[in-house]
Chain A
Amino acid sequence: MNQSNRRPIVATIFRFILAGVLLYAGGIKIMEPHGARDAIFAYRIFPPSWGNVLGYALPLLEIGLGLLLAMGLFVRVSAMITAILMLSFVIGIASVWARGYSIDCGCFGGGGDISPAGRAARYTQEIIRDLVFAGMGLWLFFKPRTLLALEKI
C-alpha cells in the first residue's frame, strides 16, 4: 500500500513538469510563429515548404499535449506522444550537430558562442534536457495513474 501510494506522487510530479514545459514551449512558439518556422528551417531536416505547416502545428501539438497532461486526461497516450516528440528533438539536435551546423547564430541573445567547444556544450545540454523529459514521458506511459487527475485509472 505504502509503495503504491508513493508511485503516483512521482508520476504526478512528472505529469505537471511535462505539462508546464509543453505549455511554456508551445506558448512562446505560438506568440512568435515566424520564430518557430525559422527554427524548423534551421534544422534543415524538412523541406522548406514544410516549415510553415510545422511552424503552426508544432506549438499547437505542444499546447494540446500540455493541456491534456495538466488536466490529467488521456495521460498514457499524451505521455507517449510527448516522449516521442522529445526523442525526435534529440535526434534533430544530434543530426544538426553531426552535420556541423551552428544553429544558434547568437542572434537571439543566446550568447553568440560559435566556437566548436561552446557549441558542443550547448548541444549536449539540450540533448540531456530533452532526454530527461522523454524519460518522464516514458515513466508516465508505464505508470499513468496520478493524483489530481480528471481521469480515474
Chain B
Amino acid sequence: MAKDSKSAKAAREAAAQARAEANAAERSRERKVRLIGGIVVVLVMGSLLAIPLMSGKNKSTGTNSSAALPKGVTSETFGVKVGPAWTAANADKIPMLQIWEDFQCPACGAMEKASGATILQLADEGKVRLEWRPTLFLDEKLSADNTANGNPQSSLRATNAFGCAVDQGFAEKFHAALFAAQPSEGKGYSTADFIAVAQAAGMTDPALTKFKECEAAKSYNGWANNSYAAFQKDGISSTPDGILNGTELPSQTLFTPDAITKAIADATKQ
C-alpha cells in the first residue's frame, strides 16, 4: 500500500514535471514566435520607409530665384496683388486677404461663382488688399486624367497663362473668365481654351499676340512652380484657402458674400 502510494506520487511528480517542461517549451516557442514576428514587422516597416524617402527626393520643390515674374509680382509671396489698396497711403490699415487657389479645383470655381465678384469689387474699391496665390497641387492628383484628355499639367499651364495675362493688364478679367471656363475636373485646359479665355476677357491685339507668345514660351512656368513651392512650405492643403490678415477663414465665410464682406469690414476697424 505504502509502496503503491509512493509510486503513484512519483508518477504524479513525473507528470507534473512533464507538464512544466511542456509549458516551458511552449513559452520558449511563444517567445521565439513573438521575437521573429516582431523583427519581420520592423523590417517590413523599415523597408517601406524607403519608399516615401526615395520618392520625396526627386520631388524637392525648391524656389528657383532666377524665374521671371509677372508684372507687379514679387518674390516675397509670388502672389498677384489686386486693387488700389496695395499702394494706398494707409495701406497698412487695410486688411489683407490672400486666396490660395488651383485653377483646376472645382471648389475654387464654386467659390469664384459664389463670392468672387464681391471680393473683387471690395478690392477695386480699395477696401481690401487682395492677393491671388496660385497653386498647382492638382496637377499631381489629376495627372492621369489630364494626360488622358491631352491636357497634362493643366494647373501649371493655366497659371502660366494667367501670368501672361497679368503682364497685359488683364489680371482681373482673365481670372474671372478662366474660372468661368473651368472644365469638369480632370479634363484640363487646352491651349485653345486659354486663348478663348483671353478673348472672352476682352483682350485684343497687340496684347493678344503678346499673350499668345508669352503663353507658348511657358514664360511663367518657373513663377508658377515658385508659388506652388510657397504653398507647400506654408502647409496649405485644400483650396480655396482664404487668409485674412494672417488668419485662415472658415470656408463658410469665404463662400458667402455677406460673411466675407463683414469679415473684411471687421478687420478694418482695428
Chain A residues in contact with chain B, CB under 8 A?
30-31, 33-35, 38-39, 41-42, 44, 47-49, 51, 55-56, 59-60, 63-64, 67-68, 71, 73-74, 99-103, 105-109, 112, 114, 116, 150-152
Contacts and interface: CB of A to CB of B under 8 A. Distances in A.
B107 A42 contact: no
Contacts of B5: none
A60 B30 contact: no
B150 interface: no
Nearest to A38: B237
A117 to B, nearest CB: 13
Interface of B: 26, 30, 33-34, 37-38, 40-42, 44-45, 48-49, 51-53, 55-56, 59, 102, 104-107, 110, 137-138, 140-141, 185-186, 234-240, 248, 250-252, 255
A34 B135 CA distance: 15
A150 B237 CA distance: 42
A107 B51 contact: no
Interface of B is mostly: helix
B105 A151 contact: no
Nearest to A36: B52
B89 to A, nearest CB: 35
B225 to A, nearest CB: 15
Contact of A33 (B56, B236, B240): B56
B37 A60 contact: no
B141 A108 contact: yes
A31 B140 CA distance: 13
A63 B185 contact: no
Contacts of B53: 56
Contacts of B252: 100, 116
Contacts of A105: 105-107, 238-240
B52 A55 contact: yes
Contact of A60 (B26, B48, B239): B48
A34 B136 CA distance: 13
Contacts of B248: 44
A60 B251 contact: no
B34 A151 contact: yes
27 contacts: A30-B48, A33-B51, A33-B56, A48-B234, A60-B48, A63-B44, A63-B48, A64-B41, A64-B42, A64-B44, A67-B41, A68-B37, A73-B38, A73-B41, A100-B251, A102-B107, A105-B105, A105-B240, A107-B238, A107-B239, A112-B185, A114-B255, A150-B33, A151-B33, A151-B34, A152-B26, A152-B30
A31 B49 CA distance: 11
A7 to B, nearest CB: 21
B107 A60 contact: no
B98 to A, nearest CB: 16
B41 to A, nearest CB: 5
